[in-house]
A and B are shown apart, each in its own frame.
Chain A
Amino acid sequence: MSKPSDLVQGTLDLLLLKIVALQPMNGWAISQRLKQISSDVLQVSDGSLYPALHKLEQEGWITAEWKPSENNRRAKFYSLTKLGRRQLEKEAADWSRLSAAISHVVRLEEA
Chain B
Amino acid sequence: MRPQHWLYSIPLRLRFLFRRHHVEQELNEELQFHLERKIEEGIASGLSAKQARYVAMRAIDALEQRKEEMRDMRRIHWLTDFLDDDARASRSGACAARPESPTDRQKNFFEDRDGRELNVSARQTISSQMQFQPTTRSRLGIHRVCRSRIECQREARVSKRTQLPGDRHVTALFKVFCLYAGWPPQQLGIIYTLEARAFDHDAAHL
Q: Which residues of A contact B (CB under 8 A)?
A: 1-2, 26-28, 45-47, 50-51, 54-55, 57-60, 63, 66, 69, 73-76, 81-83
Please measure, in the bound complex, the distance between the C-alpha atom of A59 and the C-alpha atom of B62, giving whole angstroms.
25
Complex interface: chain A residues within 8 A of B80 (CB)? none
Q: Which residue of A lies closest to B5 (CB)?
A: A60
Taking a contact as CB atoms under 8 Å apart, the answer to whether B26 and A76 are in contact is yes
Say yes or no for B59: interface residue by CB 8 A criterion: yes
With an 8 Å Cβ cutoff, the count of chain B residues facing the other chain is: 27
Say yes or no for B70: interface residue by CB 8 A criterion: yes
Complex interface: chain A residues within 8 A of B38 (CB)? 28, 46
Complex interface: chain A residues within 8 A of B74 (CB)? 54, 58
Please measure, in the bound complex, the distance between the C-alpha atom of A50 and the C-alpha atom of B32, giving whole angstroms.
12
Taking a contact as CB atoms under 8 Å apart, the answer to whether A83 and B30 are in contact is no
Please measure, in the bound complex, the distance between the C-alpha atom of A33 and the C-alpha atom of B33, giving whole angstroms.
17
> Counting chain B CB atoms within 10 Å of each CB, which of A46, A75, A81 scores highest?
A46
- Set B4, B66, B69: member contacting A60, Cβ < 8 A: B4
Please measure, in the bound complex, the distance between the C-alpha atom of A96 and the C-alpha atom of B1, giving whole angstroms.
26
Q: Which residues of B contact A (CB under 8 A)?
A: 4-5, 7-9, 12, 26, 29-31, 33-34, 36-38, 59-62, 65-66, 69-70, 72-75
Please measure, in the bound complex, the distance between the C-alpha atom of A63 and the C-alpha atom of B15, giving whole angstroms.
14
Q: Which residue of B lies closest to A74 (CB)?
A: B29
Taking a contact as CB atoms under 8 Å apart, the answer to whether B8 and A81 are in contact is yes
Complex interface: chain B residues within 8 A of A54 (CB)? 70, 73-74
Q: Which residue of B lies closest to A76 (CB)?
A: B30
Complex interface: chain B residues within 8 A of A60 (CB)? 4-5, 7-9
Please measure, in the bound complex, the distance between the C-alpha atom of A20 and the C-alpha atom of B8, giving whole angstroms.
17
Give the Cβ gap from B17 to chain A, nearest Cβ, in Å: 13
Complex interface: chain A residues within 8 A of B12 (CB)? 57-58
